[in-house]
Every structure is written in structure tokens, then in C-alpha cells.
Amino acid sequence: MYAGCIPVFVGHATHYVFHDMLDWSKISVRIETHEISRLEDLLLSRYSLEDVERLQRNIMAIRSALTYPLDGWDPVPSQRLMLDERGPLYFALHSTRMKLMTSWPT
């Protein structure tokens, strides 16, 4: 997404990251499982160039919310901290902080 690629989600069982603050219908497309075999034709017929440009503009407006600095990142303690020491309150506060930092395009 950071490069402007539009995510394509398959089916209805997808769990969207930051679902409470991002309107994924404005930055992605969804197809049904039975449509995978004709994905390219389907996408080319369903979405115009204007639709693609609109989706990409929206992605560019929020892409910084989906990146994290990795300077000095050590995966072992970070994963342990994420799994063992952070509970629902942490993720609720993180989501609130991300909402405050992210401005959705108007």
C-alpha cells in the first residue's frame, strides 16, 4: 500500500486492520472466492481508471498510518511484549492514538 497498490480482499471473512478508524471500502476492493479464476478480467471491467485513481489518492492520504519505524527493533522482546504484556486496553489506546494522528481525506 505504501507504493500505491490497491489491496484486493477475497470473500467476506476478512478482518481489516484498524477497522474502527479506516473505511476500507475507500482504499481497497473486494471480490468473492468464486471470482478468483477471472480476477484480472473482473477488476478491469468493474473499476474504471477514475476509480483506481480515487482509491490510490485515498491510499496515499493514509499510508503513513500503516508504517512503523524499525530502528533498533529486536523481534524477540517485541513479540513477547506484544503477546504477553499488552492486553485489550493497550490496543484500545493505540487505536485512539492512531485516530488522533490520522486525518481522513475529505
Q: Tens of pLDDT along 57-71?
A: 999 888 776 766 666
CA dist., res. 23 & res. 44, Å (int): 23
Rounded to 5 degrees, what angle do the CA atoms 97, 103, 106 make? 155
- Give 93's pLDDT tier (boundaries 50, 70, 90): confident
* Report field, pTM of the whole predicted structure over 0.85: no
Q: Give domain limits for the chain.
A: 8-101
Judge whether 95 and 20 are in contact, CB under 8 Å.
yes
Can you say whether residue 47 is alpha, beta or left, with left for phi > 0 and alpha for psi between -120 and 50 degrees? Answer: beta
pLDDT band at 95 (very low <50, low <70, confident <90, very high): confident
Q: What is the mean pLDDT of residues 49-59?
A: 93
Confidence (pLDDT) at 87: 65
What mean pLDDT comes out for the span 33-49? 92
- Could you give the CA distance from residue 55 to residue 15 in angstroms, rounded to a whole number? 19
